[in-house]
Chain A
Amino acid sequence: MNWAIWAERLRVPICAALLLGAWQLVYALGVVPEKYFPSIPTIATAFWAMLNDGTVLSAWAVTFGRATVGLIGAALLGVALAIISDLSPVLSRGIRYISDVLQPIPPAAFVPMAVFMLGLGTKLYAFVIILVTIWPPYLNGVAALAGVGSVQLNTGRMFGLTNWQLLWQVKLPAALPEIFTGIRYAATISLIAVIVAEMLAGRDGIGFMIFKKAFALRTPEVFGLMFLVGLNGVLLNGLVNLLRQGLTGWHIKMMERPE
């Protein structure tokens, strides 16, 4: 009956079908040699084989774990820094310069230096992920905290809130929706950073696997893993959304209300 409603409900399968269809079309037209652009069934078979020998699952768990832990760390740190910046304008300006310099540097550029400094291991991942992932939560946090209205703050003070209570009970709840916008960006960045770090300096994880398979010219496997990375993004975004709904559900409802 109502196409719009069905299209909305089936948007994920529709998008997936369109993507796979376009892929198959390019394949069928033979624009790229099959060796570098295998068909969907070939990719699926190769991926299935990797699933069965268990390598993919463990690599996925490692990579997704790193991206999630990295995101949590970067988000907490970013918000904490934003709170400190909100308290101290001087510090805020200082961090602003640092972020202006660090933000344009891609994660790949951090890896070699990090390898020398921190070796190959958890510290390397923590360093690279946090350095590139922290900025959206931090910058959104600073803007959101600065944007909390003076009427709201005066209301809190009128009812006897201390500065500390004002921060927890008024400023942070008011700023949280905007902070989550930053965390959603950060989720994607964290995932990219993990894959890049694994490719350049890793001994495990999906990034490492992609690198290995690419060198062995196992194209179907490489593409299968790339799809998996994309799925990771969807999954991580889904988790962030769940948390956002739990913590700022009021804001989502407020934005969606008809009027």
Chain B
Amino acid sequence: MTALLSTSAVGKHYGSGAARMPIIDGLELSIAKGEFVSLVGPSGCGKTTLLMCLAGLLAPSEGQVRFNGQLVTAPPIGLSVVFQDYSRSLLPWKSNLDNVLFGMRRVQLSGPEKRARAVEILAAVGLSGFEAHYPWQVSGGMQQRVAIARGIAAQSQLLLLDEPLAAVDAQTRADMQDLLLDLAKRFNQTCVLVTHDVEEAVYMANRVLVLGPRPTKVVREVIVDLPMPRDQLATREDPAFLHARHEVMALIRGMRQGKALA
């Protein structure tokens, strides 16, 4: 099977000379169509930097990123990032609907068709009736959903989600997890989810990639052998879930202790 997204020996550093700071080093990954992959790693290890490289928003210092077999040199059509700082990624002078339409600039549809599609996707994220509101007139959780809707609307095949649920309360978080899984299925989205929360990483994914400390690379792949759709109660009690969670947590704890000793 050919990968939707793949990297070969991607490296990235900031600065040069004495100030050179390596962030990513020899990172290999491959994401197949239809997968839901979680990325976990210590904080500050370079997850956001990696997503920027995958999305063509940052040029890797070494190695290559390929999307649909094509070398990524600029943001390709069919790939959307939902930024960690989602409230700042929405344009405050545009209504929620216009923000979604802004994401559809490169979509080959007529004006009215685009509009209808945007309204449909906003409804799918539970924002019917808020099309004419500005982002700053709705709650943080709703802004997050506008950003997700905009990502999907951009004719996306691959969604890169950078800690999308970090700022919401526990109940909303569970609802949003299920909404995301539902959206991924309904709109045929392959997803890469960056998260700090190991439980969430396992709950959402078919596969968890554990990233090492800076300069980061994939240090372990954990397969989550659980059926979709997931269920907040049954899935979290399944032995396969507990097993995967244990494996990821142990790895991360090991890294933290290693760092504390160093």
Contact = CB atoms under 8 A, between A and B. Distances in A.
Interface of A: 149, 151-152, 154-155, 157-161, 170, 173-174, 248, 250-251, 253-254, 257
Contacts of B80: 158
Contact of B83 (A154, A170, A251): A154
B73 to A, nearest CB: 12
B137 A152 contact: no
B136 interface: yes
Contacts of A257: 136-137
B49 to A, nearest CB: 12
Contacts of B74: 157
Contacts, number: 52
B106 A159 contact: yes
A158 B57 contact: yes
Contact of B105 (A151, A159, A173): A159
Contacts of B136: 254, 257
B57 A152 contact: no
A208 B121 CA distance: 64
Contacts of A154: 52, 57, 81, 83, 89
Contacts of B137: 257
Given A151-B85, A154-B52, A154-B83, A160 B92 contact: no
5 contacts: A154-B52, A154-B83, A157-B75, A250-B92, A257-B136
Contact of B93 (A149, A151, A250): A250
B81 A158 contact: yes
Contact of A160 (B93, B105, B134): B105
Contacts of B91: 152, 155, 170, 173-174
B104 to A, nearest CB: 8
Contacts of A251: 92-93
Given A157-B75, A254-B136, A257-B136, A151 B92 contact: no
Contacts of A161: 105
B134 A151 contact: no
A151 B102 CA distance: 15
B60 interface: no
B212 interface: no
B213 interface: no
B55 interface: yes
A159 B102 contact: yes
Given A149-B88, A154-B83, A159-B106, A173 B93 contact: yes
Contacts of B55: 158
Contacts of A248: 93
B92 to A, nearest CB: 6
Interface string B66-100: 00000000110100110101001101110000000
Contacts of B57: 154, 157-158
A159 B88 contact: no
Q: Which 3 A-B pairs have the closest CB atoms?
A: A151-B88, A155-B89, A250-B93
B83 A155 contact: yes
Interface centre among B55, B81, B91, B93 (most CB of A within 10 A): B93
Nearest to A165: B105
Given A152-B88, A250-B134, A257-B137, A158 B93 contact: no
A159 B154 contact: yes
A67 to B, nearest CB: 29
A12 B208 CA distance: 66
Nearest to B104: A159
B103 interface: yes
A157 B137 CA distance: 25
A85 B249 CA distance: 50
Contacts of B81: 154, 158
A136 B257 CA distance: 55
Interface centre among B74, B92, B103, B106 (most CB of A within 10 A): B92
A258 to B, nearest CB: 11
A97 to B, nearest CB: 29
A188 to B, nearest CB: 27
Contacts of B85: 151
Interface string B98-118: 000011011000000000000
A152 B89 contact: yes
A122 B81 CA distance: 54
A187 B154 CA distance: 42
Contacts of B77: 160
B1 to A, nearest CB: 27
A204 B85 CA distance: 57
A142 B83 CA distance: 26
A257 to B, nearest CB: 7
Given A154-B83, A161-B105, 7 more contacts: A151-B89, A154-B52, A157-B57, A158-B57, A160-B106, A254-B92, A254-B134
